[in-house]
């Protein structure tokens, strides 16, 4: 079959795979640091789940990079591909959905367990959350093992024939499995992320904070866009039998029956979905870190420090000027007082001493002057 030139070349997809996954792994490490060292709480089941998800995402990305270098860069295998590249791609395209199923399941499980710690006081939420967790476990295992045993235990049928004629006769329908996998990915995204949004109103906080909480939780929908795009791709593929083993177009139809198979790359969509899912699973957990680095609060704090410093300097200058003026006035008064040298002269030193007291001095030694009252001047 002739094939159209793909825009998903190795020099484009490899940096994309690495950047998306690298950011997800970084956020996972940051999450663990925030919880263990920043807010100092014990790591929990949701943290373990997201670490497991990061491992599966990294493994899937490594295979996809290998496919880009040695296989068909995530594109569907065509008969025009060389035998070696085609066999590499067939094997990787069989293994990758297994890793993706575990990655998606653990990401969503981590979110469900995280929300459970927040809303767990509600009996209704705990019930619905338990149902959600069991659905996620069933979803993950069903599609992972369904993909693993497409051909029973005769795994070699996946790649023994480049046209997969043997697999078509002896294996289950791959297109239907992939379509249902994409469909349930969208449905479970909506279930996992939508459930806590319903219960935000029960939290004891201000309306502004509730809306902020909704915004943080809604970040989980970042990966849903890729899920929807992958579902559309698989729906069209199911229509034409594109994922079926030994696919052959109907008489009179082009080798590639729909342009969507050229525009979209299913492996890239899965990578975006996994990576964005890993981001969204970690962002709510690192939210405490953003409280110390809020840009408006930071600018406000700097402004407050600058104005405080300027005010202190200004007060010091005013006090110095006042003290100088008081000293000059006292000296002038001292010069005007007549001095008597006779023995019968009255001693006026106590009176003079009181007259020469500085403005801020305390004439009563036993009474202390309040520093706060002086600063308030």
- Overall residue count recorded for the chain in this entry: 377
Measured CA to CA, the distance from residue 188 to residue 136 in angstroms comes to 7
| Percentage of residues in the chain having pLDDT higher than 90 | 38
Q: What is the pLDDT of residues 61-108, one digit of tens each?
A: 999 898 888 866 655 555 555 777 778 888 888 999 999 999 999 999
**pLDDT value of position 73:** 60
Of 175-179, 202-206, 365-369, the poorest mean pLDDT is in 365-369
Which range is most confident: 217-221, 297-301, 313-317, 370-374?
217-221
Q: What is the pLDDT of residues 1-57, one digit of tens each?
A: 334 556 778 888 899 999 999 999 999 999 999 999 999 999 999 999 999 999 999
Measured CA to CA, the distance from residue 135 to residue 90 in angstroms comes to 30
**pLDDT value of position 344:** 45
Residue 367 has pLDDT above 60, yes or no: no
**pLDDT value of position 225:** 87
**pLDDT value of position 364:** 45
**pLDDT value of position 34:** 94
**pLDDT value of position 349:** 40
**pLDDT value of position 202:** 82
Task: Tell me the pTM.
Answer: 0.72
Q: What is the pLDDT of residues 229-269, one digit of tens each?
A: 999 999 998 888 877 776 777 677 777 778 888 888 888 88
* Stronger pLDDT, 212 or 255, i.e. the higher one: 212
Three-class secondary structure of residue 308 per DSSP: helix
Q: What is the mean pLDDT of the chain?
A: 78
Residue 290 has pLDDT above 80, yes or no: no
Q: Report, as an integer, the average pLDDT of 323-340.
A: 58
* Stronger pLDDT, 359 or 75, i.e. the higher one: 75
Choose among 59, 51, 61: nearest CA to 27: 51
Measured CA to CA, the distance from residue 172 to residue 153 in angstroms comes to 12
**pLDDT value of position 294:** 52
| C-beta contacts of 194-201 below 8 A and 24+ residues apart | 195/115, 195/125, 195/128, 195/129, 195/132, 196/115, 196/118, 196/119, 196/125, 199/119, 199/122, 199/125
DSSP labels, 253-308: S-SS--THHHH--HHHHHHHHHHHHHHHHHTGGGHHHHHTT-HHHHHHHHHHHHHH
Residue 88 CA, chain-centre distance (Å), reads 34
Residue 343 has pLDDT above 60, yes or no: no
Residue 365 has pLDDT above 50, yes or no: no
Q: Report, as an integer, the average pLDDT of 190-208.
A: 87
């Amino acid at each position: 079959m002739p094939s159209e030139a793909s825009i998903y070349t190795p020099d484009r997809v490899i940096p994309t795979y690495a950047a998306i996954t690298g950011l997800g792994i970084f956020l996972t490490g940051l999450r663990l640091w925030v919880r263990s060292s920043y807010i100092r709480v014990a790591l929990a089941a949701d943290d373990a789940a997201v670490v497991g998800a990061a491992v599966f995402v990294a493994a899937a990305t490594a295979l996809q990079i290998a496919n880009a270098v040695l296989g068909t860069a995530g594109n569907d295998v065509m008969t025009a591909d060389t035998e070696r590249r085609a066999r590499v791609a067939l094997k990787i395209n069989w293994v990758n959905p297994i890793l993706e199923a575990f990655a998606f399941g653990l990401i969503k499980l981590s979110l469900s367990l995280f929300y459970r710690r927040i809303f767990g006081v509600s009996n209704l939420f705990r019930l619905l959350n338990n149902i959600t967790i069991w659905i996620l476990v069933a979803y993950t295992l069903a599609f992972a093992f369904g993909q693993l045993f497409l051909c029973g235990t005769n795994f070699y049928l996946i790649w023994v024939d480049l046209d997969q004629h043997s697999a078509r006769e002896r294996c289950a329908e791959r297109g239907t499995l992939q379509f249902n996998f994409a469909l349930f990915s969208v449905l479970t995204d909506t279930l996992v992320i939508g459930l806590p949004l319903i219960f935000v109103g029960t939290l004891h906080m201000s309306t502004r904070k509730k809306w902020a909480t909704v915004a943080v939780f809604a970040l989980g929908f970042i990966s849903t866009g890729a899920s929807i795009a992958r579902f559309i791709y698989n729906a069209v593929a199911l229509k034409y039998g594109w994922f079926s083993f030994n696919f052959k177009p109907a008489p009179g139809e082009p080798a590639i029956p729909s342009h969507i198979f050229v525009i979209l790359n299913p492996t890239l969509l899965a990578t975006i979905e996994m990576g964005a899912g890993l981001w969204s699973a970690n962002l709510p957990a690192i939210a405490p870190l953003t409280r110390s680095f809020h840009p408006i609060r930071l600018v406000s704090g700097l402004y407050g420090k600058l104005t405080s410093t300027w005010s202190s300097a200004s007060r010091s200058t005013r006090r110095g000027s006042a003290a100088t003026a008081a000293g000059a006035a006292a000296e002038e008064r001292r010069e005007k007082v007549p001095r008597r040298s006779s023995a019968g002269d009255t001693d006026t030193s106590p009176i003079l001493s009181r007259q020469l007291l500085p403005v801020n001095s305390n004439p009563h030694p036993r009474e202390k002057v309040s520093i706060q009252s002086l600063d308030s001047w």
